Amino acid sequence: MSKKIFTSFSKYLILSSLFFVLCSCSKDETPIIEPEIVKELPEINVDSIFINLDEDIIKKKAASIDKVFSNLRKKVGFNGVVLYAEQGRVVYKKAWGYRNLRKRSDDLQADDIFQLSSVSKMFTAEAVMILKNEGLIDYDTDIREYIPEFPYEGVTTRLLLNHRSGLSRYESLADAKWPDRKKPFLNEDMIEYYAKYQPTPYFKPDGGFNYSNVNYALLASVIERVSGMSFADYMRVKIFEPIGMDNSYIYEMNPDANVSLYIEDVVQGYYMDRRRPMQAPNEYLNGVKGDKMMVSNTEDMFKFMTAVDYGLLLPDSIQDEAFKPGSPKSRKRKDNYGFGWRIPDKYPGCYYHYGWWKAYRSFFIRDDVDDRTIIVLTNTNKGPNSDHFWKIINDNSIKLPPASVNITYWEIANENKFPYSSYRQRTYKE
């Protein structure tokens, strides 16, 4: 995905102060790019990176988004954290509701961390592409090359990424066969159970599309087998640490863990029981990772989007495959699926993923043409649907002007760390 970066760090700090007041953000909230990185910057002509922005337009844009979520709070009890960015700038970031829904106490903060549920898949896919770029895997090699005990022939890494393996759900297998729900069901247990019981696939490999968590759980295991690292460590070393995702990690359970315990350091999830919010406990299937179980906040997720957009983790030749449809067009299926991203027919140039898992719902929508991103994280299984967020993404009534610069903060700050970042031309809609 090609584009210019439109911001400088100095201007970013000015805007961040503005949005603090407008959006009532947490008092301990920090800019997405940590201030201390400024020490690493070489001397440059600041006039070449400053952007003249109409702050009134930004205020109006932020106010229009705030109005949407204010109405959602009143009408459907929206409870969560929102981040909206446009033209490389965070325009709106705010928390609504409570950490403790049952007692209606302990206000959510804009930097709170959540379990991302299926939005985790885009990060898993990125890790697989890094392995590909390092020459450690081939997309079209049978995964038995990496997991020899896997019983099914013809399942490749590409088919897992595109949800075209045809494999049946691991959740159904575990529900039927796992003997002790007080002990976690892990990725290695999943592989062992597929080898032992060999449940019938839904169809032959590449015989169709079926979105299933097993595909990305297996990808996490491929990453572990090929890299020789735990999935959590690989994600930390290859993605989280290089781009400063300091509030992100992969939640892991030990084989002897007590699954009745709640996940610490994460906003707790709630489900509705006869209109009363009940705290969702940890559960045995939370031992499976890759398809879910990433923990993060909106700021870190926007850092990731920035890194993807600006080529900080992968060269274009590898990264762009994430946004290519993996299945033939179908009348029955509105949207296609790339590598960890859904590709909507209705909105060309847009990509997204939603997540729902055990009282956590998450939404990540990216408009690559107009450089817009909205991230919504909630800690309840009830709330507004994605239509409201798509309306924000597609709202051109207040359109921020594109900036024109020939130098980027991210590239300067990380010039010795990211060999793939480069100045790239971008095309705008008229």
Q: What's the number of CA atoms in the CB half-sphere (13 Å) around residue 429?
A: 15
Is residue 257 domain-resident? no
Q: What is the percent of the chain with per-residue pLDDT over 90, rounded to a whole number? A: 70
Is residue 200 domain-resident? yes
- pLDDT (tens digit per residue) in 229-272: 999 999 999 999 999 999 999 999 988 877 866 777 899 999 88
- Higher confidence at residue 380 or residue 417? 380
Q: State the pLDDT at residue 18.
A: 39
Q: Provide the number of structural domains found in the chain.
A: 2
Is residue 68 domain-shared with residue 160, that is, in the same domain?
A: no
Is residue 4 domain-resident? no
127 is in which domain, residue-wise? 121-246
Average pLDDT over residues 305-318: 92
What integer best gives the mean pLDDT of the chain?
84
Is residue 219 domain-shared with residue 125, that is, in the same domain?
A: yes
Q: State the pLDDT at residue 45.
A: 35
Is residue 133 domain-shared with residue 84, that is, in the same domain?
A: no
| DSSP E strands, 288-338 | 294-296, 335-337
- The radius of gyration of the chain from alpha carbons, rounded to an integer in Å, stands at 22
Average pLDDT over residues 8-30: 39
Q: Name the residue among 318, 323, 359, 348 with its Cα closest to residue 80.
A: 359
Q: Name the residue among 280, 365, 270, 341 with its Cα closest to residue 126.
A: 341
Q: State the pLDDT at residue 251.
A: 94
Quote the pTM value.
0.85
pLDDT at 322 over 60: yes
State the virtual CA torsion across 135, 141, 147, 148 in degrees, nearest 10.
-120
Q: How would you list the strands of the sheet with 372-378, edge to edge?
A: 89-96, 80-86, 372-378, 360-367, 350-357, 342-344, 335-337
Is residue 131 domain-shared with residue 227, that is, in the same domain?
A: yes
Is residue 202 domain-shared with residue 146, that is, in the same domain?
A: yes
Residue listed under structure tokens 């408009």: 367
Is residue 139 domain-resident? yes
Is residue 240 domain-shared with residue 125, that is, in the same domain?
A: yes
Is residue 125 domain-shared with residue 239, that is, in the same domain?
A: yes
Q: State the pLDDT at residue 140.
A: 98
User: CA 93, 98, 99 angle in degrees (round to 5)?
Assistant: 100
Is residue 307 domain-shared with residue 342, that is, in the same domain?
A: yes
Is residue 337 domain-resident? yes
> Which of 246, 267, 285 is a domain's end point?
246
Is residue 428 domain-resident? no
- State the pLDDT confidence band at 56, using cuts at 50, 70 and 90: confident
Q: What is the percent of the chain with per-residue pLDDT over 70, rounded to a whole number? A: 80
The Cα 384–Cα 45 span in angstroms is 46
Q: Side chain identity at 330, as an amino acid letter? A: S
Is residue 240 domain-shared with residue 147, that is, in the same domain?
A: yes
Residue 139 near residue 159, CB atoms below 8 Å: no
Is residue 288 domain-resident? no
SS3 per residue for 223-244:
HHHHHCCCHHHHHHHHHHCCCC
Q: State the pLDDT at residue 145.
A: 98
Is residue 334 domain-resident? yes
The CATH number of the domain holding residue 239 is 3.40.710.10
Residue 118 near residue 353, CB atoms below 8 Å: yes
pLDDT at 41 over 70: no
The Cα 288–Cα 185 span in angstroms is 6
Is residue 177 domain-shared with residue 211, that is, in the same domain?
A: yes
- State the pLDDT confidence band at 402, using cuts at 50, 70 and 90: confident
The per-residue DSSP string of 353-413 comes to EEEEETTEEEEEEEETTTTEEEEEEESBS-S--THHHHHHHT--SS-PPPP--S--HHHHH
